[in-house]
Structure 1
Amino acid sequence: MSYGFYIYGILTLPAPQNLNLQGIDQQPVQIKILDGFAVIYSEAQQERYLASRRNLLSHEKVLEDIMEAGHRNLLPMQFGLLISSWETVSEQLIRPHQEELTQLLAKLSGCREVSVKVFWDTEAEIQGLLAEHPNLKTQRDKLVGQPLSMEQAIQIGQAIEQGMNDRKQGIIDVFQGTLNSIAVDMVENTPQMETMIYNAAYLIPWEAESQFSEHVEALDHQFEERLRIRYNNFTAPFNFARLRLLISN
């Protein structure tokens, strides 16, 4: 039984030749030339694909392998996109969005996405805040072990919260001031946990990665043991593929 085609992404022409890649369900990755674009796909073996770690990694690896092979004008599609026929792709994806696709692919051409996630130790930062503001520490220490009025609790809590927000923003300003100028574009995403204070994706020219990496390393040295930085130096540009599509299978 045929379940149609699983779509990974779209390339500008000329298309890759002699692909030797396996995609989801270990299916061979193929190219379909359609309306002046190259669609990356494999034969779908299921009616719907669960967003399991294995499937997600397979989806991303196909795109990364194609980009690493030199085809860097790639627009990645969201995981799980299945289509029943090429007419569907042409009528609902390419023709209605041809100009937008062309502009977006031009922006992404020759670029890679990298990500920077920054973590801190919340308790250590609070202690650092109190050490830098002795009056605030004295005020808090006087109230330790004593019943607090609602007004006192709110006042101390707000002062500490504002201080922590200022410390956090100060760090973010340093990172953005150091890294943003290298990037073509950047997206600041929502932190994924309480200890994560910065979560950003950067679209950078392919050849600028070594420079970007050096800047990240310099930031790591600048903040020494205070911060933990997680740097991913390459992925397909998912955060910058902002074409929103509704495709009926």
Structure 2
Amino acid sequence: MTGGLFYVYGVAFDDVKPPEDLQGIDDRPVDIVRSGRLAAVVSELPTDHRLGRRRHLLTHSQVLDAVAQRAAIVPLRFGTVVEDRPAAVQLLDAAEDRLVPLLESLTGTSQYTLHARYDEQQVLAEIVADDPQIADLHRQTRGTSDDMTLNARLRLGELVAAALEDKRAADAPIVLEPIAEHAVAHSVRQPTTDVERLVDAAFLVEDRRAGQFDQAAEAVARALHGRVRIKLVGPTAPYDFVTEL
């Protein structure tokens, strides 16, 4: 690489070897800057480059995930840029005491992210069937104008929201516990207001147990078929299991 800014994707051990044809932001080749036991995964960046587009974020993740297929890597926050190669070396030297043990703990593992979503019609039908007050309000408001039944609709919305939270609290362990048994660690992500959402969670899984982990996720998906849809993404870099640098 010549002079110019360096975009830093993450940090790995010094023996890391990214795929030869791996391209970074703006199709620049991915390279390695080494110091001591660590290596920064980088690509050159023009000094006038403006980061922030969605494609830049996607490339950031794609580079990290490609390297993670071959070696443990600590992702750096999107937008990490240093001014030159010596600055990249300085970054590595300053973080060596912290990153070496972290990389050792991540070696031989990958992240998988699970998204569990209710079938909306099914879960709402269950809620109506389980609660006589909700069922009564549902009958009152069905086929009527908003103005005529505003208070009833507001109350119905409150009760349905509360019932959904209770149902999530009961169903989330049914999803998580059988799968988490096959992971080193797991992290439940912050909930959203999406009605269909049951749970989003990240799992750190030993590569040698990836098959068992997949089988456990498939078993949960079969057991909840018709009520819950399970989507598993991975293997990826361990985004949820490192403190952002």
TM-score band (shorter)?
0.7 to 0.9
- Equivalent residue, structure 2, for 1:94: 92
* Percent pairwise identity: 22
Displacement of 1:117 after TM fit?
Answer: 0.7
The reply on whether 1:232 has 2:233 as its aligned counterpart is: yes
Q: Secondary structure at the match of 2:79?
A: coil
Q: Closer, same or farther in 2 for the Cα pair 1:85/1:35, shift >3 Å?
A: farther
- Equivalent residue, structure 1, for 2:79: 80
The reply on whether 1:5 has 2:29 as its aligned counterpart is: no
Alignment of 1:1-249 (within 5 A): 2-16=3-17, 19-45=20-46, 47-68=48-69, 70-71=70-71, 73-91=72-90, 93-133=91-131, 135-137=132-134, 139-140=136-137, 143-144=140-141, 158-191=158-191, 194=194, 195-244=196-245
Displacement of 1:37 after TM fit?
Answer: 0.8
Q: Closer, same or farther in 2 for the Cα pair 1:97/1:149, shift >3 Å?
A: same
Q: Secondary structure at the match of 1:231?
A: strand
- Indicate if the aligned counterparts of 1:35 and 1:90 stay in contact, CA closer than 8 A: no
Displacement of 1:111 after TM fit?
Answer: 0.9
- Equivalent residue, structure 2, for 1:247: none
- Indicate if the aligned counterparts of 1:49 and 1:80 stay in contact, CA closer than 8 A: no
- Partners of 2:231 and 2:61 lie apart in 1 by 19
> Residues 27-48 of structure 1: CA distance to partner in whole angstroms, max 9, x if unpaired?
2221111133111112113534
Q: Secondary structure at the match of 1:75?
A: strand
> Residues 137-182 of structure 1: CA distance to partner in whole angstroms, max 9, x if unpaired?
45435754797796x8776555433322111112211112111121
Letter in 2 for 1:97: A
- Partners of 1:52 and 1:210 lie apart in 2 by 36
Q: Bigger CA drift: 111-120 or 20-29? A: 20-29
Aligned length: 239
What is the root-mean-square deviation of aligned Cα atoms in Å? Answer: 2.9
- Partners of 1:30 and 1:53 lie apart in 2 by 22
Structure 1 length normalisation: TM-score?
0.81
Q: Secondary structure at the match of 2:94?
A: coil
Letter in 1 for 2:12: L
Structure 2 length normalisation: TM-score?
0.82
Q: Gaps spanning 5+ residues in structure 1: where?
A: 245-249
